[in-house]
Structure 1
Amino acid sequence: MRSFSKKYLERLELPLGTMWLLGECMEFKGKQQLWESRRPEVLSALKEIAIIQSVESSNRIEGVEVESKRLRPLVLGNSRPRTRSEEEIMGYRRALELVHLKHSNIQVRPKTIQQLHNRAQEGAGDAGQWKSSNNEIIEFDSKGLRSVRFIPTSAKLTPKQMDQLCLGYAEESQKDRLPSLVLSALFVLDFLCIHPFRDGNGRVSRLLTLLLTYKNDFHVGRYISFERIIEENKIEYYQALKLSSQGWHQSKHDAVAWLNFFLSTIRMAYKELSEKVSGTDVESGGKTEIIKKAILEEIGLFSLKDIQTRCPSVSQQMIKKVLADLKKKQLIELRGRGRGAKWHVK
C-alpha cells in the first residue's frame, strides 16, 4: 500500500546498519539447508517447542492467557477448549498449523488474510471479516493516561487498500528490485497501519511474518518462535511501529525503524537456531526443557501420568530421568511410593 507506491520505493534508502542486518540473515539462510540435511532429529525436537511458544506468546501479547496446565494439551490437540480464551488459543494453533503445512500453496492475497483471521479468531462473530467501523491504536503512558497513537485506514477504504497492498507486494516481488525480507517487512508494516480487522490484527501480522518468510525460503520460523522473540522485545516492537507509522497516510513515513526490528527478529531467531544445532544432544536437551517446564509449572500434587499428559511426545523414561534430576537438586519432592506416588514442587 503506502510503502509500495512507486515514489516511496524510489526514495527508500537502506542505511548501512540495515544492510548489515540483512546480510547476516542472508548468511544464516545459506546454512539452513545444511542444518536440515545433517541435523533433522534436532530440528524435529525444536518444532514442538516452537509451536507451543508461538501460540502462548502471540496470544499473551494480546492479553489472552490460559492456565499452564491447559496450554500444552490445547496446542497439541489433546483437549477441547472450555473458555473463550482457550478458543483463541486453539484458533491460533490451527492458523499456525495451516501456515506451517500449506505455505507453499498459500497465495498472498486479501482472501488468504481473511482466512487466516477466521482461523485465528475462531468463535468470534466477525472472524474473517474486514472491520465494519473505524478503529484507533491506543497507548498508555507511565501514569496510565490514554492517548491515540495512530489512526488506521477507515473501514470504508480498508477493502480497497488491502487489495492494493497485496497487488503492490506481488508486483515488487516480481521486479526483484528490493530484497525479499525488506518487502516482507514493508508488507507487515502496511498491514498493521491499515489494521483491517476489529480485533486480532497483531496475531494475523505474526502469521503473515511467518508465511512471508516461508515463501521466501527462510525456514527459521519453523524451529524458533518469532512470536516469543517479539514478546521478549515488546517495548522495541511497539516503539519501532510507532516511529515507522508516523506520516504513513501521506507516504512520508520512515520505515527504517521497523525494517531494523523485523530483520533483528529474523537474525535473533537464526542465531538461536545456530546455537541449538551446533550444541550436543540438542534433541534430548530440547525435550528435557519441555518436561522441566511442565513439572515446575505444576501447582499442588501431581503424578507421572500428569506430566505424560502434558508432554505426549516424550518417553516415560525421559520424564522419570528429569524427575530424578530435579529431586536431586531439591526442586521437587516425592510423596508416597508405587502407583500412588505424587510429586510436589518445593
Structure 2
Amino acid sequence: MVTKLILFDTYLYQLFFLFVMEPKNLTQMLTDKNTFSFSKLKYKYGEENFSEYLTILSDFFYRKVPLENFSGQKFVYSPAQVQIVSQSLKQLMRNYSGEKYGMKAMEDEIISTLSIEKIDTKRESVREILNGKAPQSQNEEKAYGIKRGLDFISDPANQITVENLRKLYQITINDFLEPDVKLPPDLLYRNDAVYVVGSSGHSVHSGLAVEKLPAYINQLIRFIDDDHDEIDQVLKSAMIHYDFAYIHPYFDGNGRMARLLQLWYLVQKGYTSALFIPFSLFINQNKTGYYKSFKLISENQTETGIPDMTPFLHFFTQNVFSQFENYNVNEDLLMRFKTVLEAGQMTKKEQELFQFVLSHYGTNEFSTKDLEKDYRNVAYATVRTFVLKFEEMGLLKSHKYGARVKYSIKE
C-alpha cells in the first residue's frame, strides 16, 4: 500500500510540473535548434518558462555522473537527449581484421587529431611513418608520437592506470616537446596554471588548479574502472574524453591525449574495432561544433549553476557515433568473406592479404603495385593472382582507368 501511495504521489508531482508548464512549451524547448544553449532558450521563451523547463530537466531528465567540476559539483547529463545509434554499437563491436588497428583508419585518425590542433601533416608522410619510417620534421614527430600512442593503447595488457597514463603522455607527446614545456621525469602532471586560448586570443578555459590534479585524475580513473554505473559504455567514452580535456592536466597535448584516452577506454572494454574507425576524422569535419559543445557546458553552468555534459555528448552522438556505418565495411561483405574462408577456398596468405586490404585501404582504391609495396613480403605474382581470384569471388571490384586498373573491396 505504501509503495502504491509513493508511486501515486510521484505521478501527481510529475503532473504538477507538466501542468505548470504548457506541454507545448516543453516540447518546443526540448526540440528547439538551440535546446543546448540555455541563454538563447531563456531569451526566446522567457524567464518563467525557462525556470520551469530547468526544474523539469533537473527532476525528470538529469542523471548524475560520478565526476566533479572544479567546484566539487557532480556533472549531470540527460540520457533522453543523447540517444546512441544502434548501428554505431554494432560497428564498434566488430573486429574483422587480424591487425591491431586499421592502417587506413589510423592514417585518417592521426591526420585529423593533429589538424584539430592546427598541426598540418602530409598524408604520404603519415603513411610512411605508420609503415616504419623515422620522422624527419617536428610535425612528423608529432604524427610519430600518435602512432606510438596507438601501439600502446592497442595492447590489451596496458591497463588504464595513473602510471600508464603518464607513460602514454611520455611516448605520445612529451618526448617531442620543447624543453620549456616538457614535463620533468619526476612529475605526473603540470606544475603551473594553464589556459586555453580561443581564436580571438582570449582565454576560454583555465585548467584545474595543480594541487587538485592528483585527486581529480584518480577520480577519473575510478570512473573508468567502474563497470556497474549503468552508463552506456560508448557514451561513457565521450564523458571520459570531455572530463580529461576539462581538467587539462598537461601544458600541451591535452586534446590529443583526451581523444586517445577515449579510444583506449573502448579497447579496454572490448570494443577493439574502435581502432578501425577514425573518431577524430568526424570531429575534424565539424571542429567548430566540437569546440562549441565544450563552450556551451561552461556557458550553461554560468546561466544555471548546473554542470551539464549533455551538449558535448549530443555532439558525439550526432557527429561521431552516427557516422560509423558510413565508414566501415558492410555486413554482407564480411559474411561473404567468412563463408569463403570457412569453405577453405583461400590460402592463409590470401586471407592475410584480404585482411591487410581491409585494414590498410578500407574502402579506398589500390593498385597491385600499391599492395605489393605496402604489404612488402609478397611476390607480385601472388598479388596478381590474389586480386583476380578475389574479384571472381565477389570480394574485390576492379576499376579501369585507361590502361591502368585499380581495385577496392566490393560493397
* Shared fold (TM-score, shorter chain, > 0.5): yes
Residues 307, 83 of structure 1: alpha-carbon distance in 2 compared, 3 angstrom cutoff? farther
Q: Is the 8 A contact 1:47 1:223 kept in 2?
A: yes
| Residue type of the alignment partner of 2:74 | Y
Please give the residue correspondences for 1:126-165 in structure 2 after superposition, counting only pairs within 5 Å. 126=182, 129-140=188-199, 145-165=200-220
Q: Following TM superposition, by how much is the alpha carbon of 1:133 offset from its aligned partner in structure 2, in angstroms?
A: 2.1
Decide whether the 8 Å contact of 1:136 with 1:151 is kept in 2: yes
Deviates more, 1:261-270 or 1:187-196: 261-270
Task: Provide the secondary structure at the position in 2 that maps to 1:156.
Answer: helix
Over 3 Å counting, the alpha-carbon distance change for 1:67 and 1:255 in structure 2 is closer
Describe the superposition over 1:172-226 as per-residue Cα deviations: whole angstroms up to 9, x where unpaired. x243343333433322222111101111111111111101122233344122111
Alignment correspondent of 2:285:
232
Matched AA of 1:90: Y
Kindly state the Cα deviation for residue 247 of structure 1 after the two structures are TM-superposed: 6.9
Match of 2:60 in 1: none
Give, as a single letter, the amino acid of the residue that structure 2 aligns with 1:270. Answer: F
The one-letter amino acid paired with 1:111 is: E
Counterpart position of 2:400 = 325
Q: CA deviation at 1:310?
A: 6.1
**In the TM superposition, what are the counterparts of 1:263-278 in structure 2 within 5 Å?**
263-264=317-318, 267-272=321-326, 276-278=330-332
Mark the CA change 1:271 to 1:247 in structure 2 (over 3 Å): closer, same or farther.
same
Secondary structure of the residue aligned to 2:192 is coil
Q: Deviations over 1:101-130 (max 9, x none)?
A: 23xx33333222221111111332425752
Does 1:258 pair with 2:280? no
- 1:8 is aligned to 2:68: no
Return 5+ residue gaps in structure 1 as ranges.
296-303, 330-346
The farther-off stretch of 51-60 and 178-187 is: 178-187
Written as runs of structure 1 = structure 2, the 5 A alignment for 1:106-185 is 106-121=158-173, 122-124=175-177, 125=179, 126=182, 129-140=188-199, 145-170=200-225, 173-185=226-238
2:81 equivalent to 1:17: yes
TM-score normalized by structure 1? 0.71
8 Å contact 1:290–1:311 — kept in the other structure?
no
Q: 1:314 to 1:47 in 2, by over 3 A?
A: farther
CA-CA distance at 1:136 after TM superposition: 1.0
Q: Cα distance 1:315–1:181, how it changes in 2: closer, same or farther (>3 A)?
A: same
Name 2:110's counterpart in structure 1.
55
| Corresponding position of 2:391 | none
- Per the TM alignment, residue 269 of structure 1 is displaced from its structure 2 partner at its CA by 4.5
1:92 to 118, 141, 146: 146
Identify the match of residue 29 of structure 1 among 89, 101, 108. Answer: 89
**Correspondent of 1:75 among 120, 126, 130:** 130
Deviation at 1:279, TM superposition (A): 5.2
- Choose which of 257, 271, 278 in structure 2 pairs with 1:204: 257
Larger helix proportion, structure 1 or 2? 1
**Partner SS for 1:69:** helix
- Could you tell me whether the CA contact under 8 Å between 1:134 and 1:154 is conserved in 2? yes
Q: CA separation in 2, counterparts of 1:71 and 1:109?
A: 29
**TM-score normalised by the chain length of structure 2:** 0.61
Q: Which of these two proteins has the greater Rg computed from alpha carbons?
A: 2
Relative to structure 1, is the Cα distance of residues 137 and 4 closer, same or farther in structure 2, using a 3 angstrom cutoff? closer
Q: Which amino acid aligns with 1:88?
A: K
- Conserved 8 A contact 2:248-2:254: yes
User: Structure 1 residues 314, 207: closer, same or farther in 2, change over 3 A?
Assistant: farther
Counterpart Cα distance in 1 of 2:72 and 2:332: 43
Task: Give the conservation status (yes or no) of the 8 Å contact 1:8–1:251.
Answer: no
Between Structure 1 and Structure 2, how many residues are aligned?
Answer: 301
C-alpha contact 1:225 1:269 (8 A) present in aligned 2: no
Question: RMSD between aligned alpha carbons?
Answer: 4.0
Change in 2 beyond 3 A, CA 1:315/1:137:
farther
Partner SS state of residue 204, structure 2: strand
Deviation at 1:267, TM superposition (A): 2.4
Q: Percent identity?
A: 18
Residues 106, 218 of structure 1: alpha-carbon distance in 2 compared, 3 angstrom cutoff? same
Per the alignment, residue 63 of structure 2 pairs with none
User: For the Cα contact (< 8 Å) 2:193–2:209, is it kept in 1?
Assistant: yes
**SS in structure 2 opposite 1:149?**
strand
Report how far residue 86 of structure 1 moved: 1.2
In the TM superposition, residue 6 of structure 1 has moved relative to its aligned partner by 9.2
